[in-house]
């Protein structure tokens, strides 16, 4: 398994992957940046950098996350949430096909191993509140603001 850590506006992102795909992307503040980037992770790192620069809305990466079949189905559903939009946990459960599975869907959402690429940050509470984000609510808010910048009003 190859690994690289890069600086992002939200902390150090660590990417793990091999020829089968990207297995994990996580962020924290304690990891050190990598001095060398394995070639197999170059595309993932480039796409993350483009996202943070506002130049990428969709990721085109081969993914290979570890999880149960149920979790993987939920993570695939998360990838259907368009850039700059949000859905509630209830809407996500309905889109998944079972409104009653809201707790299981929310749990799978919280175990998403592919930070940003599988956009679990786009899932909010039914009342519009920012709830539950493994990376911290400050990061969730930052990501949603990046994807939905305020519109500059004209002075004239």
Give the catalytic positions in this structure. Answer: 120
Contact present, 78 and 119 (Cβ < 8 Å): yes
Q: How far is CA 32 from CA 17, 26, 28, 95, in A?
A: 18, 13, 10, 39
Tell me how far apart the alpha carbons of residues 36 and 89 are, in angstroms, rounded to a whole number. 39
Quick one: residue 84, left, alpha or beta (phi over 0 = left, psi -120 to 50 = alpha)? left
What is the three-class DSSP state of 6? strand
Contact present, 51 and 116 (Cβ < 8 Å): yes
């Amino acid at each position: 398994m190859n690994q690289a850590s890069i600086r992002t506006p939200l902390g150090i992102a660590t990417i793990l992957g091999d020829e089968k795909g990207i297995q994990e992307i996580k962020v924290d503040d304690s990891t050190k940046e990598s001095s060398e980037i394995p070639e197999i992770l170059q595309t993932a790192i480039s796409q993350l950098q483009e996202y943070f620069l506002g130049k990428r809305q969709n990721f085109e990466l081969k993914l290979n996350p570890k999880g149960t079949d149920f979790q993987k189905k939920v993570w695939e559903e998360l990838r259907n949430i368009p850039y700059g939009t949000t859905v509630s946990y209830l809407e996500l459960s309905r889109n998944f096909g079972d409104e009653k599975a809201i707790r299981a869907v929310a749990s799978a959402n919280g175990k998403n191993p592919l930070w940003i690429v599988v956009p679990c940050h786009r899932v909010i509470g039914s009342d519009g509140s920012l709830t539950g984000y493994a990376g911290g609510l400050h990061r969730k808010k930052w990501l949603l603001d990046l994807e939905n910048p305020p519109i500059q009003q004209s002075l004239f």
